[in-house]
Amino acid sequence: MDVENAVILFSLVSGVTGIAYGVYLGFWVLRQEAGNETMQKIALAIQEGASAYLKRQYRTVGMVAIVMFFILLLVFDLLTAMGFLVGAVASATAGFVGMVIAVRANVRTAHAASSGLKPALNVAFRGGAVTGLLLIGLGLVALAGFYAIAKGIAGPEKAVHALISLGFGGSLISVFARVGGGIFTKAADIGADLVGKIEAGIPEDDPRNPAVIADNVGDNVGDCAGMAADLFETYAVTIVAAMVLAFSLFPGQIEPVLYPLVLGGVTIFATILGTLFVKVGPDGAIMSALYKGLFVSGGLAAVAFYPVTTSMLDGIGGVSGVSYFFAALIGLVVTLALVFITDYYTSTRYSPVQEIVKASETGHATNIIAGLAVGMQSTTWPVVVIGAGILASFFLCGGAEQGGLYGVAVAAVSMLSMAGIIVAIDAFGPITDNAGGIAEMSKLGPNIRKITDALDAVGNTTKAVTKGYAIGSAGLAAIVLFAEYARVARGGSQVIDFNLSNPLILVGLFLGGMLPFIFGSLCMKAVGQAGGLVVEEVRRQFREIKGIMEGTGKPEYGTCVDIVTKAALRKMLVPGLIPVIAPILVGFILGPAALGGVLVGSIVTGLFLAIMMTGGGGAWDNAKKLIEEQGKKGTELHKAAVTGDTVGDPFKDTAGPAINPMIKVMNIVALLIIPLIVSH
């Protein structure tokens, strides 16, 4: 068996193994006890709301995808159009199936808490691991399988180009899932908090709050399905970008083209083994238990990378296999660094969050000022780490020679190969959040609520940490995509000047720098408007339905779910189409040089804006949590923190995370259309 067939077979086996283990964990979760009748009724309402929303979202996005399929068919060919379809279906499947398990793991986590912290953590983490394993398993099967089929039909060059459209399919689903899910979850959350906590003075997840079910639904469609689609897309796009770049840089050499698939396959096995080490120690430290799984997965991957890299890449581009191995290690180091940096800025254990708590003592305005300051400050070290990773991997692998760019791609693929365990830790967050809500609404005992609160507090931090990872990986992936765009653009018969003295480049930089702000503002405005509708509805129900506050009247939960569903689907279309339309307009009107400027401008401002929003939003959220842990609910201090959290919610869960796929969609679209706007 030749190298190519062996790699494809290994990739398919690895991907199927990841999917199979994910399915096994899913069935294990479903076999756990689901609690009493009240808990099951609440969980069923969350399940129905989440499934109904995602089905309507995918139906809406499906219509856009069908139009895009026929456009690609007419402009390119059937293979390119089919690649788009495969990427879109795989991304949607990863998000939907993961969410289906998450909304069933929540009630089982709440019930397991009656037996202690260890069983509850086990259920919550395994529920999240289903999403992570499905993501990397489906991603690798889709990429390796489609490449093999496309190569057999049309040859290697067209197969590689068709892979770009596969990445585009995943990207399109991702941006809509992030925007739509983010609008849903934060509109419901804001409506529940502003009227419930501040105006009515009732606890979070109180069953008297009409928006409480919508809030719990939102945790799943935003933080679970949305994050899964986001990281599936980043995972697929990064592997595709590395394969396309290798095909261009090293013609006739198949090993560097296939190497990203091997890294992905190796890390699936490392991830499966890593999940087995997530166990609470004698000290009961939940975050340490999760980090054990991350460290074991990363350590095993690092060990396995050495023989794979040195055997496949030695001498490629005049660079030793050991140098490429160190580039892969840099990707793993960047992953760990971003996790710890985000943890520092968003965890209750460190000074940034504690400074926001202190600022809340003097009111709402000082809380907002402190949160914005923390968000801005949180951009520094991630950008330094990403920059250092790019430079180190570039110069380790030959610098300006061909191997340098490929070294950056290797670091990016290595970083994204960890997506499975990262998503498992992320999906743990919405599961534990829902478990706490179900425990509150079911009026379970204080001992159970203490465990679910502890899990929820850690889940809050893990959601922020994984968003930091997602943004950093998106930055690296976008740079690899841009490198290929610039190479293709320069390869045309036109003389393209990428010098900053070219006014087209400067105009492109300004336009690209503007786009993440316009995109983010539309997302924020959508959350504010939809949240306002929920506020009005919750106030109406408190006013008109007799006995709600006394517990004798039943709130109309479904009305709030319906309001945010319609608002999210209506308002996600315009921001979702911006990254598709903008590069097409700039490319055909101003040309490839200006489009190159747009891509660079969007990467730079998008990276800073996304980190600022997610870092600041996570810090605001945990500042509120820390005040609640101190027993100060209902105080003026707490009300100021709730205001900050309300502002930070669309920052960290809507606009900030959605900028990741937005940047990559723009780069993928540019890479797809560059042959059309550069004459060869």
Neighbours of 497 (CB within 10 A): 13
Sign of CA dihedral 289, 294, 299, 304: positive
**Tokens describing residue 102:** 């998450």
Q: Which of 228, 190, 172, 71 is nearest to 573 (CA)?
A: 172
**In 351-418, which ranges are continuous DSSP H helix?**
351-360, 364-377, 380-396, 402-416
- Report angle CA 154, 492, 487 to the nearest 5 degrees: 80
Q: Which of 435, 454, 434 is nearest to 348 (CA)?
A: 454
pLDDT, averaged across the chain: 87
Residues 435-449 have pLDDT tens digits of 888 888 888 888 888
pLDDT at 493: 46
Neighbours of 550 (CB within 10 A): 8
Q: What 3-state class would DSSP assign to 158?
A: helix
Contacts of 165 (CB under 8 A, 6+ apart): 72, 76, 80, 81, 83, 84, 87, 672
> In whole angstroms, what is the distance from residue 84 CA to residue 107 CA?
36
- DSSP states of 25-81 as a string? HHHHHHTS----HHHHHHHHHHHHHHHHHHHHHHHHHHHHHHHHHHHHHHHS-HHHH
232 within 8 A of 403, measured Cβ to Cβ = no
Better-predicted residue by pLDDT, 139 or 473: 139
**Tokens describing residue 254:** 């198949």
C-alpha neighbours within 13 Å on the C-beta side of residue 59? 10
pLDDT at 563: 86
Residues 592-651 have pLDDT tens digits of 889 999 999 999 999 999 999 998 998 998 898 889 888 888 788 988 998 898 889 889
> In whole angstroms, what is the distance from residue 211 CA to residue 407 CA?
49
- DSSP states of 15-40 as a string? HHHHHHHHHHHHHHHHTS----HHHH
pLDDT at 400: 65
Q: Which amino acid is at 127?
A: G
Q: What 3-state class would DSSP assign to 201?
A: coil
> In whole angstroms, what is the distance from residue 610 CA to residue 519 CA?
11
Radius of gyration of the chain (CA): 24
151 within 8 A of 488, measured Cβ to Cβ = no
**Tokens describing residue 270:** 């490392």
Q: Which of 44, 288, 299, 55 is nearest to 177 (CA)?
A: 55
Q: Which of 245, 193, 248, 174 is nearest to 572 (CA)?
A: 174
Q: Which of 526, 566, 654 is nearest to 53 (CA)?
A: 566
Flag the least confident range among 79-88, 108-117, 201-210, 490-499.
Answer: 490-499
- Report angle CA 156, 476, 500 to the nearest 5 degrees: 95
**In 545-591, which ranges are continuous DSSP H helix?**
557-571, 573-589
How many residues does the structure list for the chain?
Answer: 680
Neighbours of 38 (CB within 10 A): 14
pLDDT at 37: 87
Q: What whole-number percentage of the chain has pLDDT above 90?
A: 37
Taking the model in full, what pTM does it have? 0.89
Residues 359-410 have pLDDT tens digits of 999 999 999 999 999 999 999 999 999 999 999 999 998 876 667 889 999 9
Q: Which residue has the tokens 């499975």?
A: 420
Q: Give the DSSP letter of residue 149.
A: H
Q: Give the DSSP letter of residue 264.
A: H
> In whole angstroms, what is the distance from residue 8 CA to residue 149 CA?
11
Q: Which residue has the tokens 């926001």?
A: 356
Residues 116-129 have pLDDT tens digits of 889 999 999 999 99
Better-predicted residue by pLDDT, 2 or 82: 82
pLDDT surpasses 70 at 192: yes
Which of the four pLDDT bands, split at 50, 70 and 90, describes residue 27?
Answer: very high
pLDDT at 99: 82
Residues 94-115 have pLDDT tens digits of 888 878 888 889 899 999 988 8
> In whole angstroms, what is the distance from residue 615 CA to residue 104 CA?
29
pLDDT at 496: 64
Q: How far apart are the first and last CA of the chain?
A: 37
pLDDT at 680: 44
Which of the four pLDDT bands, split at 50, 70 and 90, describes residue 269?
Answer: very high
> In whole angstroms, what is the distance from residue 235 CA to residue 614 CA?
20
Q: What 3-state class would DSSP assign to 388?
A: helix
Which of the four pLDDT bands, split at 50, 70 and 90, describes residue 494?
Answer: low
pLDDT at 497: 64
> In whole angstroms, what is the distance from residue 502 CA to residue 496 CA?
10
pLDDT at 29: 93
**Tokens describing residue 337:** 């660094």
pLDDT surpasses 80 at 489: no
> In whole angstroms, what is the distance from residue 189 CA to residue 139 CA?
31
